[in-house]
């Protein structure tokens, strides 16, 4: 419950930033306009973000032999989680990684790279897919779509504040307006990243419960982190704004928790997972498993 409360507070902060910038641009009318703009942007993202993201990463339906095996795994895990089975996609990239997208559990998708299926054992892939299903069940995919849209709206309003704000009557003056133009988008990005980090920890916990063994997910995180540190994920490099969606930052992020990091430190996540079941059986990794 603490994670949800923190997310609610951060979302409120994001909304306050939108309203504050709207007021700076046009007073009370600006607040209304800002909320309407943010609402329209969110409505568009709500209905189209999953298709847009899958297209950005050239994801294809999992209808090949290895894809059908992945589909069966996801269906089994979704049944355990008591949720609808999402659409399953494959991304032809060598870096091991995965993400989930969609506005709700009834309209969701999970995507895994070919590198994930080739380099991880079956148990580790199950841990990763369980993590992504946790994001869907917790509505994290919708939350992150909304926060990303708010961040974009704040950047747009910050530019409006510079060019259309009433600088003569503003108590901030031109220096204050310039500061707001720079600091407001930075603050929005920080809030967005804080929400993303908070939701990752919760998805790890729930994902471990879904797959039944926290060590599977912990082992997968360590293996994915090692792969992401040395293998490019080209589609993510072309679309860095989607990096927060992946289970591990695909853009070669440093290992430590940082103010501008979209993900918690991997070692912190692994430590929390191993603490969930210190006596659980750890099967030896079999890279490639049934994936071929």
Structure tokens at 238: 């072309």
Q: Are 260 and 188 in contact (CB under 8 A)?
A: no
Number of Cα atoms under 13 Å in the Cβ half of residue 160: 20
* Residue tagged active-site, from 132, 222, 237, 267: 132
Q: Are 34 and 184 in contact (CB under 8 A)?
A: no
Burial 219-256 (b: 16+ CB within 10 A, else e): bbbbbbbebbeebebbbbeebeebbbbbbbbbeebeee
Q: Helices 214-228 & 122-137, crossing angle to 10 degrees?
A: 100
Closest alpha carbon to 277 in 214, 205, 221: 214
Q: What is the Rg, in whole angstroms, of the alpha carbon atoms belonging to the chain?
A: 20
CB burial class (10 A; 0-12, 13-18, 19+) of residue 1? exposed
DSSP, res 100: E
Q: Are 236 and 165 in contact (CB under 8 A)?
A: no
132 catalytic per annotation: yes
Owner of token pair 């209304």 = 32
3-state secondary structure of 216: helix
CB atoms within 10 A of CB 149: 22
Give the catalytic positions in this structure: 132
């Amino acid at each position: 419950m603490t994670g949800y409360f923190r997310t609610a507070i951060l979302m409120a902060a994001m909304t306050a930033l939108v309203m504050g910038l709207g007021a700076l641009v046009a007073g009370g009318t600006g607040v209304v306009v800002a909320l309407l703009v943010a609402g329209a942007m969110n409505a568009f993202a709500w209905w189209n973000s999953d298709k847009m993201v899958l297209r950005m990463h050239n994801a294809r339906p999992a209808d090949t032999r290895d894809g059908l095996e992945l589909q069966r795994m996801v269906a089994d895990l979704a049944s355990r989680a008591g949720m609808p089975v999402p659409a399953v996609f494959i991304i032809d990239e060598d870096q091991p990684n995965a993400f989930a997208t969609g506005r709700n559990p009834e309209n969701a998708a999970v995507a895994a790279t070919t590198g994930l299926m080739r380099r991880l054992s079956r148990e580790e892939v199950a841990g990763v897919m369980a993590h992504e299903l946790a994001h869907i069940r917790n509505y994290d995919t919708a939350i992150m779509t909304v926060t990303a849209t708010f961040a974009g709206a704040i950047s747009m309003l910050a530019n409006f504040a510079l060019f259309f704000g009433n600088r003569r009557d503003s108590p901030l003056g031109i220096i204050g307006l310039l500061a707001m133009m720079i600091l407001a988008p930075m603050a929005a990005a920080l809030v967005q990243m804080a929400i993303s980090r908070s939701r990752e920890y919760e998805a790890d916990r729930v994902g471990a419960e879904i797959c039944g063994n926290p060590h599977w997910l912990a082992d997968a995180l360590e293996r994915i982190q090692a792969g992401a540190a040395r293998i490019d994920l080209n589609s993510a490099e072309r679309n860095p704004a989607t990096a927060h969606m992946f289970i591990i930052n695909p853009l070669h992020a440093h290992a430590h928790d940082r103010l501008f990091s979209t993900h918690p430190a991997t070692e912190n996540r692994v430590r929390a997972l191993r603490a969930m079941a210190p006596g659980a059986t750890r099967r030896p990794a079999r890279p490639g498993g049934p994936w071929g």
